């Protein structure tokens, strides 16, 4: 039986959902390996108890300090390019702490790299470490059957997507009649901001009613002009959706709170994913786009408006025409959940490595 240590500091959602949770589920089904999960720092002497150490970020420092015959194999998870562009809000912090070079050093010294990243990211990783385990989703998504009367656009940003989302400021160019026939949802809304504390070297969650998510909401609703006055007033109270006395479903916009989301749930049939065309966006793994492209509604895959995948699609200049075109291609009546099953086949390459 192989002993595997998984270091989980709960920062990387992709790492948790795509590696940690599936491995835990597999352990329940098979007796070929035993998993131990730890958070925070781990003493170097403890590594010798395991055959493999799976980790991400900077949760393991200098692998070279782990010596001896019982040294485990270190498997490092990477899902985005480590060189942030200057436009990225964490660029300054990365430079000050030399994080990109630390990540490159870990990639070079690890025994294997596991990634859900695209082929371009894999090529960048191979420049530092040839032993790359690329996990690709090939199936496992629910086939949904629904009416197709109203298209629902989904915007699913991270806390670092302001410049990307600003491209949607052209939404105000759409005619009012358009908003009577479509809905747009902002998925993952929260009033909790993660503030980096340099002294404690950790992230502290604080309530902030003027955070980046509120800014996203202002952009995609044209400063709430597409909402009714009653709903606009309700949104400014930042209450749960079930507290609204009217019918949210007739509004052209809906806020989907982060704490009401089920894991791997899709709430839209057109993913609106504006991305500035730079190398970071081209290399970064996009879980929402991947889920959308592999989810079938009424025999069709979820449509993806993505300026990286479709370079001819200029959202900033042509969003009025493009959105209308996409709305005609895929329609539905209400916001829907499309749940993903854990795809064990996608983990095949990682499992083969762990069992060798």
151 and 96 co-located in one domain: no
How many whole angstroms separate alpha carbon 62 and alpha carbon 101? 12
pLDDT of residue 27: 79
| Range(s) of the domain holding residue 202 | 143-339
| pLDDT confidence tier of residue 333, bands split at 50, 70 and 90 | very low
Is 283's pLDDT higher than 50? yes
Question: Do both 78 and 227 map to the same domain?
Answer: no
**Are 215 and 228 members of one domain?**
yes
Give the whole-angstrom CA distance, residue 289 versus residue 207: 29
pLDDT value, residue 148? 47
DSSP string across 277-292: -SHHHHHS--HHHHHH
Strand partners, 115: 134
Q: Which two tokens stand for residue 330?
A: 């895929």
Structural domain count, the chain: 2
Residue pLDDT, tens place only, 56-96: 887 676 675 566 556 888 999 998 899 988 888 888 888 88
Are residues 206 and 129 both part of a single domain?
no
Residues 24, 40: one domain?
yes
Q: What CATH number corresponds to the domain at position 122?
A: 3.40.50.2000
User: For position 19, what pLDDT does the model report?
Assistant: 83
Among the listed ranges 9-13, 193-197, 289-293, 298-302, which one has the minimum average pLDDT value?
Answer: 298-302
Burial class of 341 by CB neighbour count within 10 A (0 to 12, 13 to 18, 19+): exposed
Confidence band for 173, pLDDT divided at 50, 70 and 90: confident
Residues 6 or more apart whose Cβ sits within 8 Å of residue 243: 234
Residue 102 shares a structural domain with residue 150: no
Q: Do residues 185 and 303 share a domain? A: yes
Same domain? For 348 and 265 the reply is: no
């Amino acid at each position: 039986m192989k002993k595997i240590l998984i270091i989980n500091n709960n920062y990387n959602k992709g790492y948790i959902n795509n590696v940690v949770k599936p491995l835990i589920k597999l352990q329940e089904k098979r007796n070929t390996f035993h998993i131990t999960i730890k958070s925070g720092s781990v003493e170097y002497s403890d590594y010798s108890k395991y055959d493999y150490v799976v980790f991400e970020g900077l949760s393991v420092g200098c692998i070279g300090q782990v010596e001896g015959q019982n040294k485990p194999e270190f498997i490092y998870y990477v899902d985005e390019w480590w060189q942030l562009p200057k436009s990225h809000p964490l660029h300054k912090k990365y430079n000050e702490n030399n994080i990109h070079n630390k990540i490159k050093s870990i990639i070079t010294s690890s025994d294997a790299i596991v990634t859900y990243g695209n082929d371009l990211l894999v090529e960048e990783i191979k420049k530092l470490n040839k032993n790359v385990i690329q996990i690709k989703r090939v199936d496992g998504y629910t086939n949904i059957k629904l009416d197709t009367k109203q298209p629902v656009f989904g915007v699913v940003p991270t806390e670092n997507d302001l410049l990307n989302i600003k491209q949607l400021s052209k939404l105000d160019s759409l005619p009012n009649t358009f908003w009577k026939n479509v809905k747009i949802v902002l998925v993952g809304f929260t009033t909790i901001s993660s503030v980096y504390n340099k002294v404690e070297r950790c992230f502290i969650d604080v309530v902030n009613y003027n955070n980046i998510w509120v800014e996203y909401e202002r952009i995609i609703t044209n400063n709430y002009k597409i909402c009714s006055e009653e709903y606009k007033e309700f949104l400014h109270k930042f209450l749960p959706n079930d507290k609204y006395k009217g019918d949210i479903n007739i509004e052209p916009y809906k806020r989907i709170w982060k704490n009401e989301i089920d894991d791997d749930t899709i709430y839209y049939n057109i993913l609106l994913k504006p991305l500035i065309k730079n190398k970071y966006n081209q290399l970064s793994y996009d879980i929402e786009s991947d889920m959308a492209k592999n989810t079938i509604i009424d025999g069709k895959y979820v449509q993806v408006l993505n300026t990286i995948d479709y370079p001819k699609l200029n959202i900033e200049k042509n969003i009025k025409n493009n959105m209308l075109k996409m709305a005609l291609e895929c329609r539905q009546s209400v916001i829907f959940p499309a749940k993903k099953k854990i795809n064990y086949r996608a983990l095949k390459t990682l499992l083969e490595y762990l069992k060798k």
